[in-house]
Amino acid sequence: MKNNRALAARSLLATILILAPQIIIFALAMDIYAPSIPIIQTTFVTTQTMMQLTISLFSLMTGVGQLLLGPIADQIGRRKIVLFSISIFIAGSLLCMLAPNITLLIIARVIQAFGACGMMVSAFAIVRDLFLGDDCAKVYSFLNSTIALSPLLAPIVGGYLQYWLNWRASFALLATIGVIALISAFLNINETLKPENRRSLKKELFIDYWTVAKSPPFLIYTFCASAGFIGFLTFFSSSAYIIIDLLKIPAQHFGFYFGFIGILFFIGSLIGGHCAKSLGTYKTVLIGAILMPLSGLTMLACHWYFGLTMFAFMAPMAIMGLGGALLMGGGAGGAIEPFPEMAGTASALFGCLQFVSGFLISQIVLAWKVTSTLPLAYTLTLFGLLAFVLLILFNGSSQKSNLGTVNQRKGF
């Protein structure tokens, strides 16, 4: 028995180490050029709205692209999609590096996002191929913890690359990392999709999406994960303007403040992995749904009491760093776990809804010029409360509708 547990632990660790580059590369592409956003805006003589598109359209394509690549991964397998997607990501990164204007930079970011989404959907599907139940949520949480390395390191690296060279150096580094990831994937990722679980891309595609979309556990957990993502995306989109432009922090120092949230996200993801195993997926996500609105209300209180200060901005985000990690890691596991025979399709729809909602909400919230922390505070409060209410209703109706075996084992 002890040998079997040790073998399972080694398998889990090996899976995390092999798949982590496929997950973290998306976060690197989001975070590394954050310190350069104001200077890119100045260089291309463009507007804050156009710069926002380099972030929000990246998010949108990452979501929409999964609707195509997820079902393909369920038909032809995970390995081919991983290798194809990394290659597209490398090409998009090189185009970003060479972009002569904001329009071509936006187009290149869309290409880059298409590659990133293929890596993410394949990695999540591979996890579902290999693990069941709360182990699945545990691996998702630990993979999310690797994402935390990006906000911890990427903005610092990006800030100093801009300071020493220029903003294009960040995209050159992304292309280099992509090449390393491609070599690693080629050598280490084997096909995990069983032949009997392969799906057709014909009419079954729409049936599969409908089967997943009408599942209450899928919808509830996807909303919760999306709420966490919306909070982080809104923070990402506004933080450079708040910290660099309004609080007058040098761009090369921006990453240290951004990285603080990354540390808390990392800690929250590790906690989420252990909570998913000991408390169950439902309770893990519920804790996150309590912390998120608490962070928003704290930010509102800090704004009215302290005004625009670094403390009033970062202290509430510290709470969000923990809560958002629980929402995203546990939400992913809870949403995808009930669909072992079409994990790629479920992962694709989950990712699409998460990233498209992030795109839409961030566009609305940041339609006005960033002059305070209030838009972010309202976003955290509203979506955190909605996630909490939906989870409570979900819990109350579970005995009647038999919603999801993963929650009935440990969640309730």
Within a domain: residue 6? no
Is 65 among the domain residues?
A: yes
Are 171 and 94 a contacting pair, CB within 8 Å?
Answer: yes
Q: What is residue 408's predicted lDDT score, i.e. its pLDDT?
A: 37
> Where is mean pLDDT largest: 27-41, 73-87, 166-180?
166-180
The confidence score (pLDDT) of residue 360 equals 80
Torsional sign, CA 56, 239, 25, 349: negative
Q: List, as one string, the DSSP characters of 268-326.
A: HHHHHHHHHHHT-HHHHHHHHHHHHHHHHHHHHHHHHHH-S-HHHHHHHHHHHHHHHHH
Digit-coded pLDDT (tens) for 27-56: 788 778 877 888 888 888 887 778 878 877
The reported pTM is 0.68
The CATH code of the domain that includes 145 is 1.20.1250.20
Which tokens belong to 67?
Answer: 């609707």
- Structural domain harbouring 143: 12-189+201-410
d(CA 119, CA 124): 9
Provide the token pair at 120: 């993410």
Domain count, the chain: 1
Supply the pLDDT for residue 346: 79
Q: In the prediction, which pLDDT does 135 show?
A: 65
Please report whether residue 3 resides in a domain: no
Question: Residue 8: its pLDDT value, please?
Answer: 39
More confident residue, 136 or 93: 93
Is 195 a member of any domain?
A: no
- What's the rounded Cα separation, in Å, for the pair 377 and 224? 17
Whether residue 4 lies inside any domain: the answer is: no
Q: Is residue 232 part of a domain?
A: yes
Side-chain-side CA neighbours of residue 170 (13 Å): 28
Q: How far apart are CA 340 and CA 129, in angstroms?
A: 7
Most confident stretch, 97-101, 305-309, 333-337, 361-365: 97-101
Domain assignment present for 196: no
Task: Work out the average pLDDT over 180-195.
Answer: 78
Higher pLDDT, 17 or 388: 388
Model confidence at 160, pLDDT cuts 50, 70, 90, reads confident
Reduce the secondary structure of the chain to three states and give it as a string.
CHHHHHHHHHHHHHHHHHHHHHHHHHHHHHHCCHHHHHHHHHHCCCCHHHHHHHHHHHHHHHHHHHHHHHHHHHHHCHHHHHHHHHHHHHHHHHHHHHCCCHHHHHHHHHHHHHHHHHHHHHHHHHHHHHCCHHHHHHHHHHHHHHHCHHHHHHHHHHHHHHHHCCCHHHHHHHHHHHHHHHHHHHHHCCCCCCHHHCCCCCCHHHHHHHHHHCCHHHHHHHHHHHHHHHHHHHHHHHHHHHHHHHCCCCHHHHHHHHHHHHHHHHHHHHHHHHHHHHCCHHHHHHHHHHHHHHHHHHHHHHHHHHCCCHHHHHHHHHHHHHHHHHHHHHHHHHHHCCCHHHHHHHHHHHHHHHHHHHHHHHHHHCCCCCCCCHHHHHHHHHHHHHHHHHHHHHHHHHHHHCCCHHHHHHCC
Q: Assess whether pLDDT exceeds 90 at residue 337.
A: no
Supply 49's token pair.
């709205």
> 240 in a domain, yes or no?
yes
Distance CA 180, CA 375 (A): 39
